[in-house]
Amino acid sequence: MLETGVIKQRTLKTSINCSGVGLHSGTKVSMTLNPAPVDGGITFKRTDIAGLGAVIPAKWDHVVDTRMCTTLGNDDGVTIGTVEHLMAALAGCGIDNVLIDVNGEEVPIMDGSSQPFVFLFECAGVVEQDAPKKIIRVLKTVSVNDGEARLCPGSHLSLDFEIDFDNDLVSRQSLSIGVVNGSFAKELARARTFGFLRDVEALRAAGLAKGGSLENAIVVNGDKIMNEGGLRYDDEFVRHKMLDALGDLYLAGAAIIGGFQGTCSGHTTTNMLLKSLFADPEAWKLDVLQGPEALSAIDGGIYPELAETA
């Protein structure tokens, strides 16, 4: 894993395919995750659209819509939606470079969590590449919307989140997690997206949630969970919001080393936070983990031990 004390970049060992329904479009979509070269980053390619205009970088400055999900787009008007759960899986598993082929306008929702994507990575295999892993180190605190979301300096990525819904079942929940020791796979990956039955009709009238079902979302009806089997975690709601935030933060273009705090925040606020971070050159720097810090990161499990040496 380490040569001269430097953590290396990672990609997939082989390509792997999955298919499913788009949460908002309701249409069936097929997706293939492919290995990508060093410094290739995370890139989407719409295979149903011809030409170079089908390529969309997974970057904060390509976010074009944050209504109920995160949608990326390019200068040619090509978009790909609901990227956050896949991005969270890539972040949580420490994968730097992947080309994602999708034959539709939305990433498949799968079961509404990141776990199916983590399983795909495990099946495909993850390999190290001959280049140091880049990180974005937060140097000073940045906040937006009167502190609704903030980033502050830290020794690793930590997430602190609070939600408060006008529903007795969900209500107020808070959680703090350091993304260390495989905590993503254990604590966040299985948390599913959720919604309220009272909102379904309005969402579908607005062209959203057409593919939503009890197979891919937690549905709350008053004080009851409609899904057979109930919740995967007692506080699955806040865990999923934290998962969303992790996915949106990975649109920074590299792993963030710092602390994220969110209070009833969502996709829009997290994207605003990244814009504010990168607008201030004194608030961040591009770096690599090396030397004693790199050894500490490995010992602490900041990057899960999925990778083989290429």
Give the catalytic positions in this structure: 267
User: Which pair of structure tokens corresponds to residue 148?
Assistant: 């609704």
Residues with Cβ within 8 Å of residue 310, at least 6 apart in sequence = 127, 128, 129, 130
Q: What are phi and psi of 289, to 5 degrees?
A: -90, 125
Q: What are phi and psi of 209, to 5 degrees?
A: 60, 25
- Rounded to whole angstroms, how far apart are CA atoms 114 and 88? 7
How many CA atoms, within 13 angstroms, populate the side-chain half-sphere of residue 192? 24
Judging by DSSP bridges, how do beta strands 71-73 and 16-21 pair with one another? unpaired
Give the chain's length: 310
Residue whose token pair is 């990975």: 250
Nearest Cα to Cα of residue 247 among 188, 182, 291: 188
Residue whose token pair is 């865990």: 239
Report whether 61 contacts 147 (CB < 8 A): no
Nearest Cα to Cα of residue 30 among 107, 88, 117: 107
Judging by DSSP bridges, how do beta strands 259-263 and 255-257 pair with one another? unpaired
Which amino acid does the sequence have at 133?
K
Q: What is the DSSP letter of 66?
A: -
Nearest Cα to Cα of residue 237 among 156, 280, 174: 174
Which amino acid does the sequence have at 150?
R
- Rounded to whole angstroms, how far apart are CA atoms 149 and 51? 38
